[in-house]
């Protein structure tokens, strides 16, 4: 089968690989019907994900149909349409039992797919811990609608969840890329008083405004004035989805005293917390990788029409043309937001 493979830093290539096989009783084989390219794939390509293993098939955001399951799999059966969680997790270790599945201690736990083991930019993928890593897609939800529920949308959902957002909060989202817009979509469900989206790229600002007309979408230079004008001098919840030094700084600066700042972005460089400047602001800062265990809840929100991320799919490429899809995604040209890959 065709599989997009991490050859070396700076080099991904479409290669021919044998079909994946069940390796353990908790595995499933999924025929991928739609996958996508994620910014994290680019981080791997640039060598910024040290635990990524050369030779693996990349891709960790996909939906498909279960082909085969191991003997211990009970939640899904062959023929089921499923969304694949970015994280596979044992469900039994200390971390999993508390919902901290990103830190599952099993060798196949956490972000393994498309990083440490073969992922989904391929025709088929083996998913360990299929009972926790696969979630059935409701009949009324299309592949396109479900595509992000296991990764970027899960990240947005998780960011909002750990921000402990309450009704009436003012939420600032820094960065209007796919994760930022997914975070904004999840924040909207919690009935905020307002959503302010900060984005430096004018094209992305226009996209965000079309996607979420009720949000205030502004360039970074407008943020200080806008934040000062808020009744409590800043946002109640800040979701940092930009991933740059400037967006990191904008995040804590935009927060009101005693606010919660959630850093969902993945950085390629270390960031600085200027504690003297922040002293007295009494912020709670939370950061890390998504605990991808809310997929079923997210799919039901999609089914009920409360979240729609289909507009984020701006381009679709066949798997055989995936290199062109990467080129477009990396260039950021043609108004690209998310690229879907059809095997």
Q: Which residues bind Zn ion (CB under 5 A)?
A: 38, 40, 89-90, 93, 96, 104, 109, 151
In the bound complex, what is the minimum distance in angstroms from residue 312's beta carbon to Zn ion? Answer: 13
Q: What is the DSSP code string of 154-188?
A: HHHHHHHHHTT--TT-EEEEE--SHHHHHHHHHHH
Closer by beta carbon to Zn ion, 89 or else 248:
89
In the bound complex, what is the minimum distance in angstroms from residue 226's beta carbon to Zn ion? Answer: 30
In the bound complex, what is the minimum distance in angstroms from residue 273's beta carbon to Zn ion? Answer: 25
Determine how many CB atoms are found less than 10 A away from the CB of residue 307: 22
Closer by beta carbon to Zn ion, 143 or else 151:
151
Q: Which of 137, 186, 125 is nearest to 308 (CA)?
A: 186
Closer by beta carbon to Zn ion, 192 or else 325:
325
Residue 134 phi/psi, 5° resolution?
Answer: -120, 140
In the bound complex, what is the minimum distance in angstroms from residue 70's beta carbon to Zn ion? Answer: 17
Q: Any bridge partners for residue 287, and if so which?
A: 263
**Residues in CB range of 151: below 8 A, 6 or more apart:** 36, 38, 60, 61, 85, 86, 290, 292
User: Rounded to whole angstroms, how far apart are CA atoms 196 and 251?
Assistant: 12
Cβ(37)–Cβ(338) below 8 Å: yes
Cα 15 to Cα 32, 69, 81, 267: the distances in Å are 16, 25, 26, 29
The separation between the first and the last C-alpha atoms of the chain, rounded to the nearest angstrom, is 10
Q: Residue 5: in which H helix or E strand, if any?
A: strand 2-8
Cβ(28)–Cβ(73) below 8 Å: yes
Closer by beta carbon to Zn ion, 181 or else 283:
181
User: Rounded to whole angstroms, how far apart are CA atoms 334 and 223?
Assistant: 27
In the bound complex, what is the minimum distance in angstroms from residue 277's beta carbon to Zn ion? Answer: 32
Closer by beta carbon to Zn ion, 196 or else 312:
312
Closer by beta carbon to Zn ion, 129 or else 317:
129
In the bound complex, what is the minimum distance in angstroms from residue 211's beta carbon to Zn ion? Answer: 19
In the bound complex, what is the minimum distance in angstroms from residue 337's beta carbon to Zn ion? Answer: 14
In the bound complex, what is the minimum distance in angstroms from residue 291's beta carbon to Zn ion? Answer: 11
Closer by beta carbon to Zn ion, 36 or else 247:
36
Closer by beta carbon to Zn ion, 147 or else 235:
147
């Amino acid at each position: 089968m065709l599989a997009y493979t991490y050859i070396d830093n700076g080099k991904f290539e479409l290669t021919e690989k044998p079909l994946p096989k069940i390796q353990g009783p908790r595995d499933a084989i999924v025929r991928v019907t739609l996958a996508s390219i994620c910014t994290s794939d680019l981080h791997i390509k640039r060598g910024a994900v040290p635990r990524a293993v050369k030779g693996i098939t990349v891709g960790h955001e996909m939906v498909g149909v279960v082909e085969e399951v191991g003997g211990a799999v009970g939640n899904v059966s062959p023929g089921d349409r499923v969304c694949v969680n970015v994280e596979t997790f044992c469900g039994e270790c200390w971390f999993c039992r508390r919902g901290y599945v990103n830190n599952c201690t099993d060798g196949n736990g956490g972000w393994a797919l498309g990083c440490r083991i073969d992922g989904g930019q391929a025709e088929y993928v083996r998913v360990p811990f299929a009972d926790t890593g696969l979630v059935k897609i409701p009949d009324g939800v299309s592949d396109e609608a479900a595509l992000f529920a296991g990764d970027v949308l899960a990240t947005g959902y998780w960011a909002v969840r750990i921000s402990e957002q309450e009704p009436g909060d003012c939420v600032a989202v820094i960065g209007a890329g796919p994760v930022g817009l997914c975070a904004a979509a999840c924040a909207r469900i919690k009935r905020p008083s307002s959503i302010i989206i900060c984005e430096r790229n004018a094209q992305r600002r226009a996209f965000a405004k079309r996607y979420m007309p009720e949000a205030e979408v502004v360039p970074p230079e407008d943020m200080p004035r806008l934040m000062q004008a808020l009744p409590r001098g800043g946002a109640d919840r800040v979701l940092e989805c930009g991933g740059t030094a400037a967006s990191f700084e904008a995040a804590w600066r935009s927060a009101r005293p005693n606010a919660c700042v959630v850093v969902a972005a993945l950085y390629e460089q270390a960031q600085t917390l200027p504690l003297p400047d922040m002293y007295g602001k009494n912020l709670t800062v939370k950061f890390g990788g998504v605990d991808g265990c809310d997929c079923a809840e997210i799919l039901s929100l999609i089914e009920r029409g409360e979240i729609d991320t289909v507009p984020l799919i701006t381009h679709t490429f066949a798997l055989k043309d995936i290199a062109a899809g990467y080129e477009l995604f990396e260039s950021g040209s043609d108004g690209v937001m998310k690229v879907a890959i059809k095997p």
